[in-house]
């Protein structure tokens, strides 16, 4: 694993801070515009294309030297309620239009001279002073913003990543929400948006990372994802449209489409993520990306989802750790957000659940009274699956799991 001494601090370059700040300024400007356009009846694919085109338009308007690269470091994605991120469908492939009350997570990134600034903002469509966000959505939005604010306030030179993880887990326990599993915040360097210095966002044994101490002139992307579910994600059925080249991997491709796609990406997207809509032929692009992904040349950003009917809220920020202060380059963009945290909706849900459980228990008791008693036992098994369990009466008890002591038949004399 790369050690602290081997890290190239991006802000050691006097021009780097300026590039980061300008990229962050454009990212937040585009985010502000995009939030206003997320209205009922809009298509995700159309909004993502508008956002990416606006990023390029603003970059082209900059007065920069010709040798300085500029572009999209992460294509715009807008993910629905249960999605963790990376949903950016091809035109005409949307699963649905935006509706009032949808919880959306918006991701995008901008790079200038290889210095990338990324941002993620969560919003609720139709939120207003007369229509505030309530229940789980309000709780998650409030907790997610609190976690992000506390991280930024506490990351300073000399502080460790384990101390930041503890701050996150303390707020998590206090609020009663779950951090999404297998999420890490990363250091950033020139041409690298996911560096080797990590911050675990969950603090579990499975997510333990090397202990580091923050130093001045470092840059980090902070990634906060919270949910009311169990925090586990699984890959959805949506075809990935966002990929990134794995530059350390070398492989001789067997098809012309694969070689053309790889050449195009090396020339136009450097080491940053790209969208398949950037290619003239979408079918050839998908075939080439698929081949490159199979051999590890590309990393697909799959759309992952959490527990059914359990919302996920995300916030992402880019920060610079300086000697005097920690500067927020992007993130916690503040649209007018009206939250009702009285938990009235949550209380109503709990009352309905209790009432439902009581009715189910009464029905079970009535059914048990009606059943004949000629077969008394039910199997006692552990785990999933159907097995033979311990039975006391006539016949064999049927239980879920591994059953023991199958009743032996008496031999006829």
| Residue 387 forms part of a structural domain | no
Judge whether 361 lies within some domain.
no
In a domain, 169, yes or no: yes
Q: Rounded distance, CA 347 to CA 198, Å? A: 38
CATH of residue 75: 3.90.230.10
pLDDT score of 280 more than 90: no
* Within a domain: 287: no
Q: What angle do CA 300, 302, 305 make, to 5 degrees?
A: 165
Predicted pLDDT of residue 372: 56
10 Å Cβ neighbour count for 264? 16
Q: What is the mean pLDDT of residues 172-176?
A: 94
Q: What is the pLDDT of residues 17-66, one digit of tens each?
A: 999 999 999 999 999 999 999 999 999 999 999 999 999 999 999 999 98
Pairing of strands 178-179, 218-227: antiparallel
Least confident of 179-193, 223-237, 263-277: 263-277
Asked whether residue 385 carries a pLDDT value surpassing 70, the answer given is: no
Query: How far does Cα 222 stand from its chain's mean position?
Result: 12
Q: Would 77 be classed as within a structural domain?
A: yes
Residue pair 17/11 in contact (Cβ under 8 Å)? The answer is: yes
Predicted local confidence at residue 332, as pLDDT = 77
Is residue 351 a contact partner of residue 144, using CB atoms and an 8 Å limit? no
Question: 215-228 burial string, b = 16+ CB within 10 Å, else e?
Answer: ebbbbbbbbbbbbb
Is 68 contained in some domain? Answer: yes
% of the chain surpassing 90 pLDDT:
66
Q: Is residue 309 part of a domain?
A: yes
Q: How many domains does the chain have?
A: 1
Distance linking the first and last C-alpha atoms of the chain = 73
Q: How far apart are CA 382 and CA 393, in angstroms?
A: 20
pLDDT value of residue 391: 43
Higher pLDDT, 387 or 140: 140
pLDDT tens profile 349-378? 455 556 666 667 666 666 665 555 554 444
pLDDT band (50, 70, 90) for residue 14:
confident
Q: At 58, give phi and psi (nearest 5°).
A: -65, -35
**pLDDT band, residue 281 (cuts 50/70/90):** confident
Q: What is the pLDDT of residue 157?
A: 97
149-170 residue pLDDT tens: 999 999 999 999 999 999 999 9
Average pLDDT over residues 378-391: 42
Residues 286-325 have pLDDT tens digits of 889 999 999 999 999 999 999 888 999 999 999 999 999 9
Q: Note the pLDDT of residue 303.
A: 96
> What is the domain extent for residue 225?
16-238+302-347
* Mean of per-residue pLDDT scores for the chain: 85
* pTM of the predicted structure, to 2 decimals: 0.80
The answer to whether residue 187 sits within a structural domain is yes
pLDDT score for 203: 86
């Amino acid at each position: 694993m790369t050690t602290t001494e081997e890290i190239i601090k991006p802000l050691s370059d006097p021009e780097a801070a300026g590039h980061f700040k300008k990229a962050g300024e454009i990212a937040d400007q585009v985010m502000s515009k995009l939030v206003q356009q997320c209205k009922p009846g809009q298509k995700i694919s159309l909004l993502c294309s508008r956002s990416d085109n606006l990023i390029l338009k603003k970059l082209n308007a900059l007065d920069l030297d010709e040798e300085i690269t500029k572009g999209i470091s992460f294509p715009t994605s807008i993910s629905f309620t249960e999605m963790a991120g990376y949903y950016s469908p091809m035109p005409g492939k949307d699963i649905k239009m935006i509706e009032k009350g949808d919880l959306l997570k918006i991701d995008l990134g901008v790079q200038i001279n290889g210095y990338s600034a990324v941002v993620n903002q969560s919003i609720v469509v139709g939120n207003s002073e007369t229509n505030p966000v309530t229940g789980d959505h309000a709780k998650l939005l409030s907790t997610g913003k609190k976690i992000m604010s506390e991280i930024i306030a506490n990351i300073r030179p000399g502080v460790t990543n384990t101390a930041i993880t503890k701050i996150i887990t303390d707020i998590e326990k206090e609020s009663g929400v779950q951090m999404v599993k297998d999420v890490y915040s990363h250091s950033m360097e020139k041409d690298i948006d996911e560096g080797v210095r990590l911050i675990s966002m969950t603090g579990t044994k499975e997510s333990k990372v090397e202990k580091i101490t923050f130093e001045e002139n470092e840059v980090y992307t902070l990634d906060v994802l919270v949910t009311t579910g169990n925090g586990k994600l699984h890959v959805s059925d949506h075809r990935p449209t966002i990929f990134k080249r794995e530059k350390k991997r070398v492989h001789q491709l067997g098809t012309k489409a694969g070689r053309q796609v790889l050449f195009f990406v090396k020339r136009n997207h450097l080491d940053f993520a790209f969208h398949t809509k950037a290619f003239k032929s979408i079918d050839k692009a998908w075939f080439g990306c698929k081949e490159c992904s199979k051999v590890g040349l590309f990393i697909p950003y799959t759309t992952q989802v959490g527990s059914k009917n359990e919302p996920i809220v995300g916030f992402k920020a880019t920060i610079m750790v300086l000697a005097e202060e920690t500067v927020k380059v992007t993130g916690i963009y503040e649209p007018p957000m009206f939250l009702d945290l009285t938990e009235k909706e949550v209380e109503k849900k709990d009352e309905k659940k209790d009432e439902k459980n009581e009715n189910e228990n009464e029905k079970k008791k009535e059914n048990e009274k009606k059943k004949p008693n000629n077969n008394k036992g039910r199997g006692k098994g552990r785990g999933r699956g159907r097995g033979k369990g311990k039975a006391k009466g006539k016949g064999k008890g049927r239980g879920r799991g591994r059953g023991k002591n199958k009743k032996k038949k008496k031999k006829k004399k």
